[in-house]
Amino acid sequence: MTITDRTVTDRPVTDRPVTDRPATDRTVVAVSERLVLTRPQEGDAEAMFAVHGDPETNRYNPHGPQRDLAQAQEALDGFVADWVRDGVGYCAVSTRDEPEVIIGFAGLYLHTLDGERVFNLYYRFRPSAWGKGYAAEAARAAMAQGRPRFPGIPVVALIRADNLPSRRLAERLGLVADPDGRVDAEDRLIHRMA
């Protein structure tokens, strides 16, 4: 069974033909070897809260975990609005084997940092998905889909200095910390695509 052609781009991220994409009713943004990135949609608030409300996934988040489902819904509404406004944004991430089960969120958010238009690279997954390389795979897929559509927009990642796992991942993805130790308004190191 194949999905309908409701993709954001006609080019698959992998060499796999479009017909090899997993069956899902969600709008597919990108497909990688093991993952499917889809547009967040109404009804994803519980999955959003499962990821963003977990204290373990928010150990380095300056805002802490989401407090309740209402806060998750508010964040989800923002994710959905970003896609409507910009045609790009954070994605719900699932495995190809279970495309309807959201294991995390990752992608690029278009915003302004210090007066410059940039993509913020983001990845956050349920603890059960940790240690499998999903964050790197999802981030690469999101960048491969988004960057060609917005040439010249740099990719940054805002990461607390003590969040060594995320900083190592950013470095593996080609982002380096500002050599002058520059931080954003929330005291997060600014990592930039080299």
Q: 1: how many CB neighbours lie within 10 A of its CB? A: 6
- Judge contact between 6 and 28, C-beta under 8 A: yes
Two tokens, residue 13: 């991220």
Mean pLDDT value across the chain: 89
Q: 6: how many CB neighbours lie within 10 A of its CB? A: 12
pTM, full prediction: 0.87
Q: 168: how many CB neighbours lie within 10 A of its CB? A: 11
Residue 18: band (very low, low, confident or very high) from pLDDT cuts 50, 70, 90: very low
Nearest Cα to Cα of residue 119 among 83, 159, 79, 146: 146
Two tokens, residue 23: 């069956």
Average pLDDT over residues 43-55: 97
> 56 by DSSP, 3-state: which?
helix
Two tokens, residue 100: 């309807």
For residue range 91-128, list pLDDT tens digits in order.
999 999 999 999 999 999 999 999 999 999 999 999 99
